[in-house]
Every structure is written in structure tokens, then in C-alpha cells.
Amino acid sequence: MGQEIQCKARVGKTLATGKALLESAELIFRSPDLRLKIPFRQMTSIEAADGWLRVESPAGSAAFELGTQAAKWAKKIKNPKSLIDKLGVKAGMRVSVIGIRDATFLRDIKTRTSDITEGKPASDSDVIFFGAEQDAALEKMRALPRSLKPAGAVWIVYPKGREEITEASVFAAGKGAGLVDVKVASFSATHTALKFVIPVKSR
């Protein structure tokens, strides 16, 4: 989930009060009078001064009164986290990758750790990445917690906006495996990732 702040936003002559949300790849503003969604990749200018964050994009100029957070948000926009950072992969972790064939993702994982098992879960995994393209694949989810370290995590990676698999079914599969959901991340332009962990009382 991103960071959310109640603030004022100005676009042209329009000044509105609402909520600004800094996601991993876009800046969102919502209010009754103004709604914005500005992807980082479209921003041509990012400046923070006097408590205001000002951004330029092909859609025009927008300014957000964020106070002390303005400079921090500007820094995060200019230096976004990599995918494997967002997914919490740290050096030396034991990682299992099942059903994911994204070449860029696999290459980036290998720059962080060499302890990688593909195709099946390794015992005592720190992180398991499980790709599911259809609801039927989620049946395999039940067995994954047995391969996790107590504080480990399972990320279910699934396609966005497809009838074959839904967010509700992914949540249900995690719950059915005795896990709790704690985070969501954009895995790619076509896929979402949901993070599940073993409940603290069960570790």
C-alpha cells in the first residue's frame, strides 16, 4: 500500500482539498472536485519547495501542499524502488519461484541471491513467489506454508482483470492456507502480487 496524506492540490485555477496517495509507480489525488492519476514515467519535472510538491506531465502542471513530506515524496518519485525491493528480497535470502517465467524478474532475483529454487518450494524459504494464471492453480497454495520459515512470506502473482482468476479467489486461497494478507504490489503491467504471511500467533 502507498502513503496517503490529506492535503490541498492545485491544477490551473482549481484548488481542492482531498487525499494524495503515493503509490509505487504513480501519484494519485482524490477529492469531490478533482481526481488525478499521474504515472511517474510521465512526469517531466518534479520539484519540492515551501511545502509544495510540483510536478509537470503531458497532462499539465499539478501542485500538492504536503508540508514536510513534499521533499520526501519528490525523492521517492525520482528514485522509485525496484520490483525486488518492493517485494522485500534481501541479499542471501532463500527464494523459491514457482510458475513465474518473467525473465526480467528472474534475472533481478539472481542479482540479490544465489539461493534460488525454481519449480518447487525449498524447505525453510524466506520468500516463495507463486504464479497463478487460473483459479484452479490456487489449490497448490495450501501446501506452501510448510516450506516457509516462520517469518517468511508467500507472494501470489496473478493477472489483472481476468475472469479466470480474481482477487477474491486469491484472498480466499491465502486464508485457506492459514495465511493472512499484508501487502499488495504491482508486479508488472499485466500482473498483481499479493503478500501473505503466517499469523504471528501461529509462528
Per residue of the chain (203 residues), give pLDDT as tens.
468 999 999 999 999 999 999 987 889 999 998 999 999 989 999 999 999 999 999 989 999 999 999 999 999 999 888 889 889 999 999 999 999 988 889 999 999 999 999 999 999 999 999 999 999 999 999 999 999 999 999 999 999 888 899 999 999 999 999 999 999 888 888 999 999 999 988 88
Which CATH fold would you assign to the domain 3-78? Answer: PH-domain like (2.30.29)
Nearest to 20 by CA among 42, 41, 38: 38
In the 8-state DSSP scheme, what is residue 146? G
Look up the pTM and report it: 0.70
Torsion of CA 78, 65, 9, 79, to 10 degrees: 10
Domain spans of the chain, in order of start: 3-78, 83-202
Which cell numbers in the block locate residue 127? 520468500
CATH number assigned to the domain with residue range 83-202, chosen from the 4 options 3.40.50.300, 3.90.180.10, 3.40.50.150, 1.10.10.10: 3.40.50.150
